[in-house]
Structure 1
Amino acid sequence: MLTDRRELESKLANSIKTIKRKKNVVNDIKEELMNKYDIAGGSISTWFRSPEDSLPELDLREFYLINEQVYLKTGNLELIPEDHFTEVEIKEARKYSAEVKRDKIDFPITLTNATVVGNAAYSVPMSVQTIDALMSNGLLTYDFELQREAKFIRGRDNSIRKKPTLIKKNVDEIEEHLFQGTLVPSVLVYNCMTRSSDTGNEIIFDATKGELTITSGTEMAIVDGFHRTMGAVRAVQRQPDINFNFIVLITNYSTKQAQQYQAQLGKASEVSKVRIQELEANRHSDGVVRQLREESDLKGLISQTNRIHHLNKELVSYNVLADTIDEQFHMNNKAESMDVGDYLVDFFNILLGAYSNEFLENPVECKKTSLMCDNNMFVGYIVLARRMFEMEIKPKELRKVIKDIDFSKENNLWKEIGVLETDGNLNSNTNKLRKNIADYFETIDLGELVK
């Protein structure tokens, strides 16, 4: 090279970061490198996902090709190929064709005999050959945020890089057990990262066929079973026709959710057909409620049933949240549901934080004189959140709305609009009650909150 490779790697990594979220640009680069040079799409995705770790590992020809493509797309003058590479290096790179001896695959791929084991979690048998193909094509990766184990090494260019913590003895033992036929069946856990797919949905599950499709662009990482995965790869490289299937739990979680559920996911088991039907019918709103359960101050305060258990200080029932979110927010895919979930997490954190005495400290006392903490009032809060979301009003502004509402049961407004009956009790017709609350929150003037 005409210049220091390490310096160019740094400049290229910075440029990659500026375009890595631009799907069209990334797809154009992928197409060029895949069609002209036979480079696997999964490998290219890995380069974009973690350029600092990936670029130092590239063959010089691959390094030239990705640098050339990023330069052509960004026009970054620091990346002009002729300034860094010799004529011979450029000529060799242009003749390059990636030779992958093992199966060339890319997402989307469809796995068979899949079953539902939980919300956004599926169980599927996977051959060691499939695992090897996923790894060799860069479709299955090691995520340092999930594993939280890494060692730091100094490269030949004196740079410091992270490497997975790999205990060779463990991998050797797993490989040997595979050859001896003595490996005990166990569950591997791989996560398909939310918001990574080109289509908006990382996973498509066909219950009638028992097929699970991982869609184009999805980033899949090992949550549990790194050493077993590497043992499988080593075994296939040594004996390509070796026969063994792992049970793989494939989840569709954010990094935070995958971290929280790592331990219990590894223990997941199949569920009844009735429960499967329920899970298959999951709406995007169910995923939003799961996000509220895990990430917001409503954690532990959402009833598992249609009834509120006051001893547990529960505030709202699952169906009120899920049904109302489903009615109010139009979500077409998982990515959109995550956006709604993020907004509602902030919304309810601010609401409960601003009125912690009513919602968190003394909800039972609050309910005696006020409607603020009533289960049904959450219908109104979600209507308000939907309107603010559509008008691009930040969640923090909701305090200006709530402070002007008199939630006291003595407020005649609630009787006038049919929330309370004349005797002061809640309207016995639950459907009308919730509709009246929703209608009221639709009429609140939000004009002053719009930017």
Structure 2
Amino acid sequence: MATDTKSIYEVLPDVLSNIAIDKNIQRSIEEYLVENHKMVRGSFIEIVATPEKVNNLEDQELLVIVNAIHKVTEDDTVSPKIYYTTKDIRTIKDYEFENQSMDVSFPYTISPVIKVTNEDYLTVLSYKEIAALSNQGLLTYNFETQRLAKKTVNKRSGKINRKKDIKNASVNAIMKLMKAGKYDPSTLLFNVLVDGKSRITFDDGELTIHEGSTFNIIDGAHREEAIVRIIEENPDFEGYMNIDLKHYPIEKAQRLLATTNTVNRFDKTLVKFYGGDEYGQEITRYLMNLPVLQDRIEIKTALSKGISITNFAIVSDAIQTIFNPQDTKDKYDVQDVLKRFFEYFIASYQDEFIKNRTETLKTSWLVHHNMFVGFIAIAKKLYDKYGKDFPVDQITNIVNNIDFNRETSGLTEIMGGQGKTNSNKVKVQIREFIEAQVDKLLK
């Protein structure tokens, strides 16, 4: 199979030694193998710990692992193309490891279950069951109903990737208590998503989740991860968790998350994103799905470097304050206006906002995350003067004639107060400054 099998066996020990130093890389590679090839959790970690086990792998298993290492690390010394033929590489796309863990699949029946309402149920699951549901991909992590995601940009494709934001310190602390027998059962929050494809049935204390269902963990991802790792280490470890199982649509699941308070406290901006029902928040969620803004408006307060350009709270609060939509007609009007505005605006300043934001930020206030207050103020001024079909070339005409230079702009005095002055006051001052500039330009 391999075109140079000896070479890959020579290269791998050093590669695995480097991987052994970085637990996050280990977990990322294992996650890739679990998700794409159904490898049993713990198997790759075991190979890293005892590299000689590579010699016991079948050729195809080795290729799958080499490919996973290359995909995650982008280390070209283990590029499969060096050691394997194109035909061989194609064959691993659908390869799955033989899974020796507890066998679970849909339809999956849980018993006993207490039915509270048609969408609310209570039960108990053992650690083994929870680990099996997670390991075999039945219980999944839905980024639309979870706290936050870690975002990375693929250096080659520019694609933005998301992965679970798991804090290892929290997981390790939970595991330590579990091993010591000091972790009392708590409640995990699961949801069978109402999406037109998922289906549950309940009969005489038994709840069945049917084929094609989306089964998500809403709250308790750190405890779930601790359980998975515990079972990796000791498949016979005993324990159980209370399960609050919901059958909610996405919006209701998000609201539920926003009101759930656990050890790892929610980011305030995230609570607004999931729990807010103001028109400004609904409009911002709509804008986030526009291609020019997708993954660019952060749902947590801090921005993801090199990816996001502002956050949900800044945009939604500005829309609510500046446009002040009162009903659904206003909401749709504002959506149309801001869609038109941002599709033209972001496309006009791709270099500043997307390609070179970090460098631009050193010299210009244009790309500062709080400046979106000013951009929304510009959109409102254009709407007031021209209506929904405002001339889009006025956007760049206005922006190009406002001084955003950090050394000469009137904004510098305002922005210099950040950290010393209440942030809401700074945003009000940004709005007032930009509105005054636009009024002069639109005379």
Normalising by the residue count of structure 2, what TM-score does the alignment of the two structures yield? 0.39
Q: TM-score by structure 1 length? A: 0.38
